[in-house]
Amino acid sequence: MFSLLSGLWKYLFTKTELFTLIVGLDYAGKTTLLEQMKSMYLGMDPLPEEKITPTVGLNRTRAHPNWTEVLVTWDVGGQRSLIGMWDRYFNEAHAVVFVIDSSDTVRMDEARSTFHTVVADPRLAGAPVLLLCNKMDKDDAIDPDVVADAFGVTDVPDHNMHVAPICAKDGTGVTEAIDWLLAALQTSPRQIIR
Give 3-state DSSP helix, strand, coil % of the chain, rounded to 5. Answer: 40, 20, 40
11 in a domain, yes or no? no
Annotated binding site for GTP: 24-31, 78, 134-137
**What is the rounded distance in angstroms from the CA atom of residue 104 to the CA atom of residue 126?**
29
pLDDT reported for residue 194: 45
Q: What is the CATH number of the domain that holds 58?
A: 3.40.50.300
Annotated binding site for Mg(2+): 31, 55
pLDDT reported for residue 99: 98
Parallel, antiparallel, or unpaired: how do β-strands 69-76 and 58-63 relate? antiparallel
Q: Give the pTM.
A: 0.89
Residue 130's domain comprises 17-186
Nearest to 124 by CA among 97, 155, 163, 106: 97
Annotated binding site: 24-31, 55, 78, 134-137
- Give the tens place of pLDDT for each residue, 89-110: 999 999 999 999 999 999 999 9
147 in a domain, yes or no? yes
Number of domains observed in the structure of the chain = 1
3 in a domain, yes or no? no
